[in-house]
Structure 1
Amino acid sequence: MSDDFAPRLLRWFEAHGRHDLPWQHPRTPYRVWLSEIMLQQTQVAAVVPYFLRFVEKLQNTQMLAAAPQDDVYALWSGLGYYSRARNLHRAAQICVERHGGELPDDFDSLSALPGIGRSTAGAILAQAFGRRCAILDGNVKRVLARFHGVEGWPGEKATENRLWQLADAHTPHERVADYTQAIMDLGAGICVRAKPRCGACPLHTDCIAHRKGLTAALPTRKPAKARPTRRTVMLVLRDAHGRLLLERRAPVGVWAGLWSLPEAADETAARGDVARAHGIDANAIAFRALPPFVHGFSHYLLDVTPLALDLEPANVVADAPDKRWLRPSDAAALGLPAPVRKLIESLD
């Protein structure tokens, strides 16, 4: 192992690293925590506008804890992986209940909060509190797997354990916040998955993958598995004022707790659901088919068929805790799944 791994990386960071990210100025525990949660499975460029909008409305842990869930989801809407928002909100409430409204600064308490795993806890402690803690996000896994020639899919326990050992061994005792940012920056901008810029890497002279021509093979990819397709019908029901019916989804499952359009398994089921809920003869229902689309999740594809229907005033159900009639422009104030938001925005 190269003894000057961290010093070389830090020298590179001084000249080429990212020093102007919004969560770095000021670098408070709350802002670091929020950025780390948003950056899980999402790139910096996509996160920045969401981060700025979020901290403008909810400026600290106490404000986040007190915010209605719908407000949190609305600020998160479009960023995806909504369990992150749900866990963030609950973690803030726990901080108020148990930690005086502040993010705890010890590993055990921090990693016990919803949505904060080992690597995220390490990143928060390193960047917000200057603690010597290793991190192992996707960028760091890629850097270490290539530099040390570690084979095996990082999702396998043995491979992950080896990468954690290396991550800890390389983490310096000084300038931990800079080092943590540096290794993430290197993975995000230089040691990228496809066509890494090895000539610009401060570590390339000792990198096994570079030396042996293995950058395309490392880290080992996850074994391929075909994603199954699921199908659903989304109902675009409008009243005489052009308002749409939205329903809050169940607290568990896909898009848990978000607002969405009513769904049914197929057109026959949709006709029956509308007939029962709105007092209409099922045989008199004539849906208008809207353009179908496919939305990809990590484990499956969702094939969506939107069906539209204009309801007579007598058939419009009243608002309820889990049902609301809203104009399309007002629906944006709620937390909506990204494909549902796009569908609503496409309506005439």
Structure 2
Amino acid sequence: MSNTLWTPVTIGEIPLANRLAMAPMTRSRSTADGVPTELNAQYYAQRASNGLIITEGTQPCADGQGYPVTPGIHTDEHIAGWRKVADAVHAAGGRLVVQLMHVGRVAHPDNTPHHRQPVAPSAIKPAGELFTATGLQEMPVPRELTTAEVAATVQDFRTAAAAAIAAGADGVEIHGANGYLVNQFLFAGANQRTDQYGGSLDNRIRFAVEVATAVADEIGAGRTGIRLSPGNPFQLNGLIEEDPHELYPHLLRALAPLNLAYLHLAHGGDEELLATLRGLWPTAMLLNRAGADIATRAKDIESGLADVVTVGSMALANPDLIARIQADAPLNTPDRATIYAGGAAGYTDYPTLAAETA
């Protein structure tokens, strides 16, 4: 395999030792109040040999939570918890970006301490069910955010970004993908507003651009990334992208002047669209091809489609993924039963190659 993966690179202001990054993955192992723990710090530190760690989705405000025991970054306790994680990752030689994820309508009151109705661009019920403490339940009709509340949510992202940096993170990633709040504003199927945030394409991208602008203004563009999922049907909960070939180039043209550190694409399989977006984006491109092997991902770097490639389940199950790839050693298989919630089992107990050899 080419040595391209192991070439250092700097994305924005964040220097990386290699071009393999850990993708954000919900693991639901924080406290009930969303505070990261020593176990979370151990989990991320174990995987610090990846060039970059992008954390699980982290709610920027209380109404941003949709799943049980997910972390937040909007209280002093959250900052202290993330400080443990950041310190542990840095001590192990890694770099850490906190993903800011407001789930919008993809939520259930039983999964949050406040038990409030979910909020969204419009009061349109999402398709599908959500795991709760009492089992699978249908997601309720969300409450439509007022225009003032939309502006306040932009500020929530700004404040959360500052909190992540205060906790020691190297940057933040705005989750604009996979049917969550930023993504919901983009699609007419979830956004039927009649104010400046709905209707025309310019209005539907407004929230995403305002969030990115606020975060970049607060912590610096060189420490700000954004994740998008053009043409990717994963977790859209009934949403349909009317025309990704029109939507995403338009959005990237609006975002490009911000000079963000990176764009992280959850690839949906449309190679023509991917090439178009690569051509429009002025800074680093992080690319996730779910299910692809390492050799395929490395070719994306060699071809110039990506500057960094991100992996999910491979990093989840292999704390020493870099060492295993370089040794051409077998990879651990993820335990699907322990991905969400629980303790150390299926979280921090995956064996390293060194341990297996010993």
TM (norm. structure 1) is: 0.26
If each structure's helix is expressed as a fraction of its own residues, which one has the higher value?
A: 1
Larger radius of gyration: 1
